[in-house]
Amino acid sequence: MSHLISPSLLAADFGNLQRDIEMVNRSVADWIHLDIMDGIFVPNISFGFPVIHYINKHATKPLDVHLMISKPDDYLSRFRDAGADILTVHFEGAIHLQRTVTEIRKLGMKAGVAVNPHTPVSALKDILPFIDMVLVMTVNPGYGGQDFITTSFDRVAELRKLIDEKGYKVYIQVDGGVDLNNAARLLSAGVDILVAGTTVFYSDDPAATIEKLKGLKY
pLDDT one-digit tens code per residue, 122-168: 999 999 999 999 999 999 987 667 789 999 999 999 999 999 999 99
**Domains held by the chain: number:** 1
Instruction: Say what the pLDDT of residue 212 is.
Output: 98
* Cα–Cα nearest to 120, from 79, 159, 88: 159
Cα-Cα end-to-end distance for the chain: 13
Instruction: Say what the pLDDT of residue 204 is.
Output: 98
Catalytic residue, candidates 35, 64, 132, 192: 35
How many angstroms separate the CA atoms of 39 and 173, rounded?
23
Residue 105 has pLDDT above 90, yes or no: yes
Question: What CATH number is associated with residue 143?
Answer: 3.20.20.70
Catalytic residue, candidates 20, 30, 64, 175: 175
Quick one: pLDDT band at residue 43, thresholds 50, 70, 90? confident
Instruction: Say what the pLDDT of residue 147 is.
Output: 87
Instruction: Give the range of the structural domain holding residue 74, as residue numbers without chain letter.
Output: 4-214
* Cα–Cα nearest to 35, from 19, 58, 51, 18: 51
Instruction: Establish how many alpha carbons lie within 13 A of residue 58's alpha carbon, considering only the half-sphere containing its beta carbon.
Output: 17
Average pLDDT of the chain is 96
The answer to whether residue 175 is catalytic is yes
User: What share of the chain has pLDDT > 90, as a percent?
Assistant: 93
pTM given for the model:
0.96
